[in-house]
Amino acid sequence: MMPQSGAGDLEPTSEQYVEFSMRTQSLVNETILLTANRVGFYGQKVLDKMGLQVFAEKGVSTVCRGHLSMTLADVQYALYAATTDEVQTVAAILYGQQYEDAAVVHVAEMSSADDPFQFLGVKRVRLAKKGVFAKPTQSVYVEACGTRRDGGITRLYQVVEFVDVNYLLARTLLPVCTSISVFEPHPLDPKCVHVYSKVLYSKETPAYLMQIHHHTAYWQRHIALQSLPVARRLVSESSLTDPHVPRSTPKVCAVCDSPFKKLRPKHHCRRCCCTMCHACSIPIQLPSAMFKYCTRCVLQARTRDDGIEQAIGSRLSDHEFLSTLRPIEILPTVVAEALPPSPVIPPASPVKLPASPVKLPASPVKPPAPRIQQEAQVQALQRITSSLAEQEFLLLSMREALEVQHHANPVHVPEPLSTKRLDTTNTVLLPEPLLPTRSDAPDSRFEYL
């Protein structure tokens, strides 16, 4: 294919692509073996946060492994970029403030019916300068994406190889930094994928490539990968000509209904053009500027059955995506030829049926309950419910009447005996009808101290 930009002199030859493809398959095979065995030396663990572990070996490699809250279809839609506009959007979201420009230089292979994630080509990215006297940080890299099916498991891989431009002009690919990423579905959680990413350095790796692959920046880029599908859907549907509501018209936030005061800033959603407060706005870095979206649009883009999928039409569900990646089935004719011949079975003798048909007893079938009977049952239940409510009301009324009578005629209950010293001078004589009597002394009275 022809170059996507004017840099025709950066087009690799077919031999260089073949050499790069062989290195890619070798790196992917080694990575799959590491992910299958779950063992290996990754270096010193420097970060363990939000389901991702980062290992670093200074000057040699950086490894990031763990789980991401996304599916294989999300990974395919997020990382596949075959045009300059798509590459600019992906690079701006992943690199954030460090991004300045990106483009597609040359494309050799694109997605097909057999492999929707297939890509092979050359891209470039330019990062922002950190100082006035800083050197330009434009990098050219060769990217290969594809799908692997090993042992009944579907995996997606992406290999990015940063090369030296001087050697590329001399028709030689000299890798200075290589990144390998393998994604496979989680065996227990269908909405989660296991990721294994590794960056290999060399002696010619420049300092800015080591900085963007530092363990903290590398971890942040993988965290941003989880929100990349949602951000790409919002960017794909956003229109640059949508009329915005004047700032003086809305009095409350369209999301949380908080009133706008003098110290509460207002923002406009790039998708629905509503006015929102700062707490309900989510900024997304785009190639041209930083745009803000409301929380409702972000949550709607995170769901599957929304208008954004119908607008772009490029996101597939897991079932449709995995169905395209299944191995080709063998034709029935080939299977029939490979099977051994079955033994010949002699035809059975005909069975004579009786002349008169045999009448079987019909099993009693209960007719469905008519609608009138169902309505009668519902009415009976309603009457029972109302009767129980009336009885509960009567019991409550009687209880209230007893409490009122108790408060009107209080009964003095004597205080319990204490362990302190008793005062024998204070003797209280209770009325005679309330005092118990003994059979052996009917005229005696008890005194309660």
Higher pLDDT, residue 316 or 193 = 193
Nearest to 290 by CA among 308, 270, 275, 315: 270
Neighbours of 46 (CB within 10 A): 15
Whole-angstrom Cα distance, residue 153 to residue 109? 24
Residue 180 is predicted with a pLDDT of 94
Beta-ladder partners of 159? 144, 180
**Residue 152 near residue 184, CB atoms below 8 Å:** no
Instruction: Tell me the mean pLDDT in the region 289-306.
Output: 69
- Residue 213 pLDDT > 60, yes or no? yes
Distance (Å, whole) CA 267 – CA 244: 10
Task: Specify the pLDDT at position 409.
Answer: 66
Residue predicted with more confidence, 8 or 284: 284
For the sheet containing 44-49, what is the strand order? Answer: 44-49, 52-57, 61-68, 193-201, 175-185, 153-163, 138-150, 119-127, 99-109
Q: Residue 317: its pLDDT value, please?
A: 39
Q: What percent of the chain has pLDDT over 90?
A: 16
What average pLDDT does range 222-237 have in this prediction? 82
Q: Which domains does the chain have, with CATH numbers?
A: 14-237 (3.30.530.20), 252-320 (3.30.40.10)
Q: What is the mean pLDDT of residues 180-188?
A: 90
Distance between CA atoms of 237 and 270, rounded to whole angstroms? 10
Give every CB contact of residue 223 below 8 A, 6+ residues apart in sequence: 50, 52
Question: Which pLDDT does position 284 carry in this prediction?
Answer: 75
Would you state the pLDDT for residue 169?
58
Express each pLDDT in 62-92 by its tens digit. Answer: 999 999 988 899 899 999 999 998 998 888 8
pTM over 0.85: no
Closest CA to 120 of 224, 16, 9, 6: 16
Span of 4-13, 97-106, 419-428 with lowest mean pLDDT: 419-428
Looking at residue 93, its pLDDT comes to: 84
Rounded to an integer, what distance in angstroms lies between the CA atom of residue 446 and that of residue 413?
16
The angle formed by the CA atoms of residues 215, 218 and 219, to the nearest 5 degrees, is: 85
Segment of 40-54, 86-100, 177-191 carrying the highest mean pLDDT: 177-191
